[in-house]
């Protein structure tokens, strides 16, 4: 952006480090140079709201990241703490008058931290288990899913809860366990034999879906709903076989190398797709940001750019391409929670609301601070349970009393909000936007075909 | 989170940690302190000795007493959005952060006041009472983040103070911890004019040098029945400034009357909240009138007529609240938006009699040419409160100094035409030498005499607000080297 | 001939015709001087103070003399500094909506001057023909329209002050916003001349409203609950009254001819807006109230008459009647109680009582007249009532003899040491208006 006249200053080397960043792919100078330290981001930040401390605020983190580059700070534990306390919710990017990419800086800084030192203790275990052992491997995820399914169906769940075995689990895991969705058959397994799931009626477009790692195991009904809604609106759907986890959780955790690996696999897997439809906001955001991973690799960056241009969230895709609003009435009062990576990450706010409002009988109650993070933030609720819990508490305080459902567009949020509902004795059902739409279509079909009309 | 585990050999930090409760209630490691080395003014940076986070007045008082007894310099900090460096620890201070004292303690609509703690964010007050049709008038551009405690310290202004006044006009009572740790209360129950010298007025705008405010009673106002907002584009900055004067002298008191010049427009349009201002115009005016609906149309007509008489290119009235909101977001995020066209900026805050506007803008333009630095102007034209934003790149050696000189030259121009060096940002560190542009030695002494009544040992926020005395004045300002 | 020596010395500073041996218009209010000086320039003021300070002579300051009954426990100081000859507009810039004026200018003269440009100082203090602008600012005086426009502290933007040692200090400036250094203006506004002599004052102006009306609501049956209900409703509406003043029956009788609790509501704006608001009030009044409307010059005449009701320290009190005035500050809605309690004093204390209070500002003024003992007892009674509801009462007019008995400012506040500290720094020899302010400052 600006040319630096004095080139004998500290070199901003492209392959090596910068200041005290000694590893490849350091935080980019042009990202922090836009920050003028005005502070308008402070109140947008959930961790600042909780702690009131600058180092846990967006501009504070940017300041620290910059300080390392300027040689005033080292990449160490004390630097890692604020950098990893960040939820990566991107609310600061929305609030920032200069649109500073704080999220991008945080991820790059985490990359440096991870290369500088290994994780220890509980966090390391959790992180390693989910990120390395589980998510990138469909087979293992499915196996885990089956295990969970077994756990739920076999009566073992009841046993664990009854015997008090549950009492020896860490509290946040107990909370998690209690809201675990019922495990159904993953769509990848279900549609294994079908190359293309054909549109109902005339085919207008061909799209591919990202089935997701955890989504397909824990929330396969949402994938199912997504496919239904797409085919219902004239889209042939494919589920490319070689796709894998989007890598968002890895990149959030600083494992950019794994992120790149997964990105490459996905870019290849969706090579022939025209459109990549995503129903998980966090994944969608990551896919759109693949080019950020390849600053040092122009060839792949080019490919990543092409790929990213094809990615679209399901709600925006339906809104943009036109869809048939359902005719059946759902008669329910709902509220809508903006997933961070939808609202702040992708700027998608109105489209899902529009979809919901066009379902007959759906009444939407405004949730104050709807775009405030719920504390889920990938696996943040597992690695930083106390902070996540505090943030969830403020979130739940904003959920209107008199609604039956809370709709949103991200599975991570769904789990966290379900914990919230359970923990604070609320009774709302947690649904994905596309599920509501699918139910309305199903009802419409029932009413259209069945003689008995109303269920 | 959890209890305070403090590992340090600094006995004062260990002792201070015992005086306060709450998670991470004291910061003392360099990595944590680094984020406290500046506020919204980033040109000078100094590390504090520690940062403490009290949650009530008694804790503040205990900390202050401890500091006073042990002769430790200390200062108070709110959100740290101040633009003159008032919260920068020049003397390795203990920073008393008030952000955890953020409760809204009382709202009394019948008597039209609210009581807040100092860490309560400005905009949250209006948000908390807007459903009942009330609001808090002072609206600095940083109101999304800045605290009311900070507003009191700086006597913050805002876009709407043309009609409604600045912070001092809305403060009815204060609870203050004096630099010796004593707690005093001035103005009770929101009742004005309590007998005695007007300490409310004196403390408001004292930039944290007289005491630490721990509770604030503010006046709240009923929302006006109607608001109309006008955007007017001028091809010529003279016409724009003349229109400002004409509107005021026509007998209208607009709620706000804001102006941006061409460079500023380039910045806000490149940033997060563009509204589609034409790129080739020289000045845009944002004019808002409010009050009784029945009277507003007449005023709008008058404003439109004035603008046309001054050769306006295009003038439009906001169609709805959403459009009005977009125009204001575009204006209010203007400073931060400069990040989109320049890596650094230095904002000045000169204020002049309105009628000198054309002359002063021309002279600022000249300063820009001579310094080779771009200067954007975003300002409260109705108040004559200029905000020249000197754009620079601190990575280029010498450019920071050049920017500071250009900023100072702008202030000299303001002072020369009978104005002042700061309208709402405060003197802080930034403009303490420029105080001499407007006050002589005796006048400065009159003020430091008052400070010495409250703050005799000068432990509280020392080195701010007043120029270095006597012969030290020529000593060149030391700049934190940024490269 | 004790007095001649200082006079002889002062003639070196100031022309002889500007000096008078003896006090000014001797009467029961005190705050006089053994020599009276009429400076015409700021330099003369500075020289006189410097001389007085060097010789540790006490100085009383006076503008129009309307507030001679306000504070102070001495019959005479060494010098009475009368500013009535230090007068005139220094600068008026209509485009900048501000005026700079010398302190001795009477308030009415100044308003008349500004009216030529359709502008005004948005203050409506009592006794504008005799009061000087300097006196109004030094005493922080105000009228009912404070609700709409604020008080002196909201509109004074710059001052020149002569300090006791003769140094001339500027505070503020000529801009409507200014945060350079401490807001020293505030220190002098309402300081009762105990810190310095205000010489020049720069004030923000407002346009004279295009239209104004007063709606008078009288409540014949004296049901204060009805008034309360109505006021809460009006204050919660979007109407923008510039005054909302409750009058006790005696005062209402004097001003409107009707003896009943009355609310005077003033609207000032463009005509359409004023008419709309008057209509709103008419539609929302309770049944027990009668309304009448005064427009334009009738409205102005009403407020002019209103401004002339308090006791005037400029004129010597006559007769056996003791006159007193109080300023009482309470929460807005408690004004009802204060005006009611004041009314009750008529019978309980056999006094003439004129009381009024701003229902949007919480500030009341109560005028008492009657036997000395009754006045004193009534003051104490009102003060007790006020303090019980968290307010304060200041006696703003009382004969010297009674001021020596009653603490007119009330008890010292807990932070008195700061007030005294300020006085001690600025006026270490305590020569200016000694003993005239809170706690004997």
Write down the pLDDT at residue B1. 41
CB A351 within 8 A of CB A98: no
Identify which of B31, B79, B337 has the shortest CB distance to residue A79.
Answer: B31
Task: Write down the pTM of the prediction.
Answer: 0.92
Q: What is the pLDDT of residues C411-431, one digit of tens each?
A: 999 999 999 999 999 999 999
Domain segments of chain A: what residues? 29-116, 125-178, 187-320, 323-449
What's the pLDDT band for B391 if we cut at 50, 70, 90? very high
User: Structural domains in chain C?
Assistant: 4-83+428-440 (3.30.43.10), 89-207 (3.30.465.10), 211-307 (3.30.70.2190), 322-403 (3.30.70.1130)
Residue C401, beta-bridge partner list: none
Other chains touching A, judged by 3 or more CB pairs under 8 Å: B
Specify the fold of B224-341: Alpha-Beta Plaits (3.30.70)
Alpha-carbon distance A101 to A99, whole Å?
A: 6
Q: B58 vs chain A: nearest CA distance in angstroms?
A: 19
Q: For position A33, what pLDDT does the model report?
A: 86
pLDDT > 90? residue B232: yes
Residues of A in contact with B337 (CB under 8 A): 97-98
Residue B216 C-alpha from the chain's centroid: 17
Distances (CA, A) of C165 to B352, B444, C168: 31, 16, 9
Hey, is the C-beta of B393 within 8 angstroms of any chain A C-beta?
A: yes
Specify whether the CB–CB gap between A279 and A311 falls below 8 A. no
Please give the pLDDT value at position A453. 39
- Which 3-state string (H, E, C) describes chain B? CCCCCCCCCCHHHHHHHHHCCCCCCEECCHHHHHHHCCCCCCCCCCCCCEEECCCCHHHHHHHHHHHHHCCCCEEEECCCCCCCCCCCCCCCCEEEECCCCCCEEEEECCCCEEEECCCCEHHHHHHHHHHHCEECCCCCCCCCCCEHHHHHHHCCCCCCHHHHCCHHHHEEEEEEECCCCCEEEECCCCCCCCCCCCHHHHHCCCCCCCCEEEEEEEECEECCCEEEEEEEEECCHHHHHHHHHHHHHCCCCCCEEEEEEHHHHHHHHHCCCCCCCCCCCCEEEEEEEEECHHHHHHHHHHHHHHHHHCCEEEEEECCCHHHHHHHHHHHHCHHHHHHHCCCEEEECECECCHHHHHHHHHHHHHHHHHHCCCEEEEEEHHHCECCEEEEECCCCCCHHHHHHHHHHHHHHHHHHCCCECECCCCCCCCCCCCHHHHCCHHHHHHHHHHHHHHCCCCCECCCCCCCCCHHHHHCCCCCCCCC
Nearest to B454 among C237, C418, C437 (CB): C418
C50's enclosing H/E stretch is helix C42-54
- Angle between helices B237-249 and B293-309 in degrees, nearest 10: 140
Cβ contact, residue pair A98, B336, below 8 Å: yes
What is the rounded average pLDDT of the residues B19-48?
Answer: 93
Pairing mode, strands A311-313 and A276-278: parallel
- Listed in sequence order, the residues at least 6 apart from B449 whose beta carbon sits closer than 8 Å to its beta carbon are C425, C426
Query: Are C270 and B298 in contact (CB < 8 Å)?
Result: yes
- How far B200 CA lies from chain A's nearest CA (Å)? 27
Domain with CATH 3.30.70.2190 in chain B: 224-341
* CB-CB neighbors (< 8 A) of C183 in chain B: 155, 168, 201-202, 204-206
The domain defined by A323-449 carries CATH number 1.10.287: no
Element (H, E) at C62: strand C59-62
Pick A447 or A372 by higher pLDDT: A372
Which B residues, 256 through 315, put their C-beta within 8 Å of a C-beta on chain A? 271-273
C-alpha–C-alpha distance, residues A375 and A398, integer Å: 14
- B/C Cβ contact: 3+ pairs below 8 Å: yes
Query: Residue C364 above 90 pLDDT?
Result: yes
Per-residue pLDDT of A234-278, as tens digits, reads 999 999 999 999 999 899 889 999 999 999 999 999 999 999 999
At A216, the pLDDT band (50, 70, 90 cuts) reads confident
B342-483: what fold? Alpha-Beta Plaits (3.30.70)
Question: Which chain C residue has its CA at the smallest distance from B426's CA?
Answer: C179
Q: How far is CA C317 from CA A175, B178, C405, in A?
A: 83, 45, 19
Rounded-to-integer distance, Cα C429 and Cα C54, Å: 9
Which residues of chain B neighbour A72 with C-beta distances below 8 Å? 34
The pLDDT tens digits of the residues spanning B410-459 come to 999 999 999 999 999 999 999 999 999 999 999 999 999 999 999 999 99
Q: Which of A158-167, A364-373, B152-161, C298-307 comes out lowest in average pLDDT?
A: A158-167
Nearest CB partner across the interface for B453, out of C154, C174, C425: C425
CA atoms within 13 A on the CB side of A164: 0
Of A337, A344, A341, A276, nearest to A306 by C-alpha is A276
Q: CB contacts < 8 Å between A and B, how many?
A: 135
Yes or no: say if A77 and A366 are a contact pair by the CB < 8 Å rule: no
| Residue closest to C376 by CA, chosen among C340, C405, C346, C356 | C405
Q: Enter the tokens of residue A387.
A: 């902070």
For the cut 80, the answer to whether the pLDDT of residue C394 exceeds it is: yes
Provide CATH 3.30.70.2740 ranges for chain B.
342-483
Task: Locate C14 and state its tokens.
Answer: 């100031």
The pLDDT assigned to B31 comes to 87
Mean pLDDT of B40-62: 96
Instruction: Name every residue whose Cβ is closer than 8 Å to that of residue B347 and which is 6 or more positions away in sequence.
Output: B83, B335, B387, B388, B389, B390, B425
Least confident of A14-18, B28-32, B78-82: A14-18
Give the pLDDT band (50/70/90) at residue A9: very low
CATH superfamily of A29-116: Alpha-helical ferredoxin (1.10.1060.10)
The pair of structure tokens assigned to B362 is 């021309």
Which residues in chain B have their CB less than 8 angstroms from residue C173's CB? Answer: 418-420, 438
Instruction: Please provide the average confidence, as pLDDT, over all residues in chain A.
Output: 86
C31-to-A126, C69, C73 alpha-carbon distances in Å = 83, 8, 8
Residue B333: predicted pLDDT: 87
| Residue B339 with chain A: CB contacts under 8 Å | 34-36, 38, 97-98, 100
Separation of alpha carbons A444 and A323, rounded Å: 15
CB contact under 8 A, B192 and C329: yes
CB pairs B-C closer than 8 Å? 251
Q: Does B99 touch chain A (CB under 8 A)?
A: yes
Q: Does A41 touch chain B (CB under 8 A)?
A: yes
Average pLDDT on A202-223 reads: 88
- Hey, which CATH number is domain B104-222, 3.30.465.10, 3.40.50.300, 3.30.470.10, 3.40.50.20? 3.30.465.10
Separation between Cα atoms, residue C154 and residue C187, nearest integer Å: 13
Write out chain B residues lying below 8 Å of C97, CB-based: 248-249, 354
Q: How far is B138 from B122, CA to CA, in rounded Å?
A: 8
Residue A114, CA distances (Å) to A111, A250, A293, B420 in order: 5, 11, 15, 52
Residues in chain B: 483
Could you report the per-residue pLDDT of B98-122, keeping only the tens digit for each?
999 999 999 999 999 999 999 999 9
Chain B hits for C187, Cβ within 8 Å: 197-198, 201-202, 450
From B249, B380, B450, residue closest to C94, measured CB to CB = B249
Look up residue C414 and give its DSSP letter.
Answer: T
Mean pLDDT along residues B51-71: 98
- Report helix, strand or coil for C61: strand
Please enumerate in sequence order all residues whose Cβ is within 8 A of that of A162, keeping only pairs 6 or more positions apart, or say none: none
Percentage above 90 pLDDT, chain C: 88
Question: Is pLDDT above 90 for A219?
Answer: no
User: What is the tens place of the pLDDT at every residue in C3-25?
Assistant: 457 777 888 889 988 998 887 77
pLDDT digit string (tens) for C51-82? 999 999 999 999 999 999 999 999 999 999 99
- Are B168 and B206 a contacting pair, CB within 8 Å? no
- What's phi and psi for C55, nearest 5 deg? -100, 10
DSSP secondary structure code for residue A439 in this structure: H
Q: What is the mean pLDDT of chain B?
A: 93
Residues of A within 8 A of B7 (CB-CB) are none
Nearest to A10 by CA among A1, A2, A18: A18
Residue A174 pLDDT greater than 90, yes or no: no
Q: Residues 6 or more apart from C314 whose CB is under 8 A from it?
A: C25, C64, C65, C66, C68, C127, C130
Report the CATH architecture of B11-97.
2-Layer Sandwich (3.30)
Pick C277's closest partner by Cβ from B193, B195, B292. Answer: B292
Distance from C-alpha of C88 to C-alpha of C198, rounded to nearest angstrom? 14
Query: CB distance C176–B384 less than 8 Å?
Result: yes
> What's the rounded Cα separation, in Å, for the pair B426 and B422?
6
User: How does strand B388-392 pair with strand B375-379?
Assistant: antiparallel
Average pLDDT over residues C264-292: 93
**Ordered DSSP codes for C172-210:** E-SSS---SS--HHHHHTTSTTSS-EEEEEEEE-EEPPS
pLDDT at C79: 96
Q: Quote the CA–CA distance of C6 and B444 in Å, as a whole number.
A: 33
Q: Which of B359, B239, B381, B238 is nearest to B309 (CA)?
A: B239
**Which residues in chain B are contacts of A5 at CB distance < 8 A?**
396-397
The model's confidence at residue A176, banded by pLDDT at 50, 70 and 90, is: low
Distance CA(A419)–CA(B465), nearest Å, equals 52
């Amino acid at each position: 952006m600006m040319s630096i006249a004095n080139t004998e200053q500290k070199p901003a080397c492209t392959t090596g480090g910068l200041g005290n960043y000694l590893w490849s792919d350091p935080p980019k100078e042009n990202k922090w140079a836009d920050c003028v330290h005005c502070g308008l981001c402070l109140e947008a930040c959930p961790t600042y709201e909780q702690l009131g401390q600058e180092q846990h605020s967006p501009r504070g983190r940017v300041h620290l990241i910059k300080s390392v580059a300027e040689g005033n700070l080292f990449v160490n534990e004390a630097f890692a703490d604020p950098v990893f306390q960040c939820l990566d919710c991107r609310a600061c990017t929305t609030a920032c008058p200069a649109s500073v990419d704080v999220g991008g800086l945080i991820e790059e800084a985490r990359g440096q931290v991870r290369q500088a030192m290994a994780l220890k203790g509980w966090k390391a275990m959790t992180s390693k288990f989910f990120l390395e052992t589980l998510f990138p491997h469909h087979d293992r995820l499915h196996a885990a899913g089956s295990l969970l399914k077994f756990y739920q169906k076999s009566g073992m769940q009841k046993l664990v809860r009854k015997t008090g075995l549950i009492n020896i689990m860490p509290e946040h895991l107990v909370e998690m366990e209690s809201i675990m969705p019922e495990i159904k058959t993953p769509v990848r397994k279900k549609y294994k034999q079908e190359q293309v799931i054909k549109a109902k009626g005339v085919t207008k477009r061909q799209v591919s879906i990202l089935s997701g790692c955890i989504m397909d195991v824990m929330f396969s009904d949402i994938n199912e709903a997504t496919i239904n809604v797409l085919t219902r609106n004239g889209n042939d759907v494919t589920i490319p076989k070689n796709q894998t986890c989007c890598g968002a959780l890895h990149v959030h955790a600083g494992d950019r190398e794994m992120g790149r690996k997964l990105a490459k696999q996905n870019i290849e897997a969706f090579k022939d797709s025209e459109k990549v439809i995503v129903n998980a906001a966090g994944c969608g955001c990551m896919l759109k940001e693949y080019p950020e991973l390849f600053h040092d690799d122009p060839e792949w960056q080019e490919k990543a750019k092409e790929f990213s241009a094809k990615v679209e969230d399901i709600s925006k895709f339906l809104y943009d391409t036109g869809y048939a609003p359902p005719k059946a009435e759902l008669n329910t009062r709902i509220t809508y929670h903006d997933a961070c990576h939808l609202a702040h990450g992708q700027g998608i706010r109105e489209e899902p609301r529009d979809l919901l409002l066009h379902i007959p009988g759906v009444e939407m109650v405004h949730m104050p601070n709807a775009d405030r993070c719920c504390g889920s933030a990938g696996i943040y609720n597992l690695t930083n349970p106390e902070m996540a819990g505090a943030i969830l508490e403020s979130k739940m305080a904003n959920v209107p009393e008199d609604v039956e459902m809370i709709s949103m567009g991200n599975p991570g949020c769904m789990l966290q909000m379900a914990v919230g509902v359970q923990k604070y004795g609320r009774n709302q059902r947690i649904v994905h936007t596309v599920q509501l739409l699918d139910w309305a279509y199903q009802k419409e079909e029932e009413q259209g075909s069945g003689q008995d009309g109303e269920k | 989170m959890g209890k305070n585990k403090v590992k340090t050999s600094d006995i004062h930090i260990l002792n201070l940690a015992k005086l306060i409760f709450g998670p991470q209630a004291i910061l003392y490691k360099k990595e944590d302190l680094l984020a406290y080395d500046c506020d919204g003014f980033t040109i000078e940076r100094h590390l504090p000795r520690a940062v403490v986070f009290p949650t009530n007045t008694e804790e503040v008082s205990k900390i202050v007493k401890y500091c006073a007894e042990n002769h430790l310099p200390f200062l108070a900090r709110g959100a740290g959005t101040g633009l003159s460096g008032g919260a920068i620890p020049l003397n390795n201070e203990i920073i008393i952060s008030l952000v955890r004292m953020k409760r809204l303690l009382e709202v009394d609509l019948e008597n039209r006041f609210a009581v807040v703690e100092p860490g309560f964010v400005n905009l949250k007050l209006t948000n908390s009472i807007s459903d009942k049709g009330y609001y808090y008038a002072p609206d600095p551009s940083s109101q999304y983040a800045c605290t009311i405690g900070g507003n009191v310290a700086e006597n913050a202004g805002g876009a709407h103070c043309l009609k409604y006044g600045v912070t001092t006009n809305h403060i009815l009572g204060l609870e203050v911890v004096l630099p010796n740790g004593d707690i005093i209360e001035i103005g009770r129950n929101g009742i004005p004019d309590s007998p005695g010298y007007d300490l409310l007025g004196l403390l408001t705008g004292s930039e944290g040098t007289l005491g630490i405010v721990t509770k604030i009673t503010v006046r709240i106002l009923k929302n006006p029945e109607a608001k109309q907002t006008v955007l007017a584009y001028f091809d010529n900055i003279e016409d724009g400034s003349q229109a400002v004067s004409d509107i005021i002298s026509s007998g209208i008191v607009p709620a706000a009357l804001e102006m941006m010049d061409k460079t500023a427009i380039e910045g806000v349009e490149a940033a997060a909240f563009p509204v589609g201002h034409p790129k080739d115009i020289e000045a845009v005016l944002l004019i808002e009138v409010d009050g009784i609906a029945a009277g507003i149309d007449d005023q709008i007509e008058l404003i439109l007529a004035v603008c046309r008489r001054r050769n306006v290119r295009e003038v439009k009235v906001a169609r709805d609240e959403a459009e009005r909101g977009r125009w204001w977001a575009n204006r209010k995020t203007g400073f931060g938006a400069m990040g989109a066209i320049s890596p650094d900026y230095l904002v000045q805050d000169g204020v002049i009699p309105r009628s000198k506007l054309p002359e002063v803008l021309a002279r600022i333009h000249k300063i820009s040419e001579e310094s080779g630095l771009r200067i954007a102007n975003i300002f409260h034209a109705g108040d004559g409160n200029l905000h020249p934003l000197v754009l620079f790149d601190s990575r280029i050696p010498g450019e920071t100094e050049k920017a500071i000189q250009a900023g100072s030259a702008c202030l000299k121009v303001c002072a020369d035409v009978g104005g002042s060096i700061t309208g709402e940002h405060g003197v802080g560190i930034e403009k303490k030498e420029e105080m001499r542009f407007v006050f002589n030695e005796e006048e400065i002494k009159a003020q430091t005499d008052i400070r010495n009544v409250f703050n005799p040992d000068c432990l509280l926020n020392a080195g701010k607000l007043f120029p270095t005395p006597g012969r030290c004045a020529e000593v060149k300002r030391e700049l934190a080297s940024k490269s | 001939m004790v007095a001649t020596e200082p006079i002889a010395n002062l003639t070196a500073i100031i022309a002889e015709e500007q000096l008078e041996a003896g006090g000014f218009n001797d009467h029961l209010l005190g705050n006089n001087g053994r020599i009276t000086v009429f400076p015409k320039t700021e330099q003369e003021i500075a020289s006189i103070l410097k001389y007085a300070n060097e010789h540790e002579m006490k100085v009383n300051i006076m503008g129009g003399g309307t507030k001679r009954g306000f504070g102070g426990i001495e019959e005479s100081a060494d010098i009475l500094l009368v500013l009535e000859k230090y007068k005139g507009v220094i600068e008026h810039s209509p485009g900048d909506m501000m005026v700079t004026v010398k302190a001795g200018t009477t308030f009415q003269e100044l308003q008349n001057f500004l009216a030529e440009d359709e502008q005004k100082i948005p203050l409506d203090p009592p006794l504008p023909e005799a009061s000087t602008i300097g006196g109004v600012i030094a005493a922080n005086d105000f009228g009912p329209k404070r609700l709409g426009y604020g008080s002196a502290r909201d509109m004074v933007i710059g001052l020149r002050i002569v300090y006791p040692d003769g140094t001339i200090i500027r505070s503020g400036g000529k801009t409507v916003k200014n945060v350079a250094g401490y807001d020293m203006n505030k220190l002098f506004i309402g300081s009762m001349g105990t810190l310095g002599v205000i010489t020049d004052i720069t004030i923000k102006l407002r346009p004279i409203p295009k239209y104004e009306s007063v709606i008078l609501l009288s409540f014949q049956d004296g049901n204060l609950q009805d008034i309360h209900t109505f006021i809460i409703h009006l204050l919660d509406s979007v109407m923008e009254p510039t005054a909302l003043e409750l009058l006790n029956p005696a005062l209402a009788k004097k001003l409107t001819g009707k003896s009943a609790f009355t609310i005077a509501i003033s609207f000032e704006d463009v005509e359409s807006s004023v008419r709309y608001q008057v209509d709103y009030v008419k539609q929302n009044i309770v049944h027990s109230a009668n309304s009448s409307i005064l427009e334009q010059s009738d409205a102005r005449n009403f407020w002019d008459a209103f401004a002339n009701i308090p006791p005037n320290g400029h004129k010597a009190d006559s007769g056996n009647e003791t006159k007193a005035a109080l300023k009482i500050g309470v929460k807005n809605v408690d004004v009802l109680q204060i005006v009611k309690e004041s009314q009750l004093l008529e019978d309980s204390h056999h006094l003439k009582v004129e009381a009024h209070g701003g229902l949007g500002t919480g500030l009341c003024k109560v005028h008492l007249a009657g036997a000395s003992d009754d006045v004193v007892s009534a003051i104490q009674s009102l003060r007790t009532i006020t303090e019980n509801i968290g307010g304060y009462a200041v006696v703003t007019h009382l004969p010297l003899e009674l001021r020596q008995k009653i603490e007119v400012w009330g008890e010292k506040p807990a932070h008195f040491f700061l007030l005294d500290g300020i006085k001690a720094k600025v006026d270490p020899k305590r020569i200016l208006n000694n003993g005239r302010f809170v706690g004997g400052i």
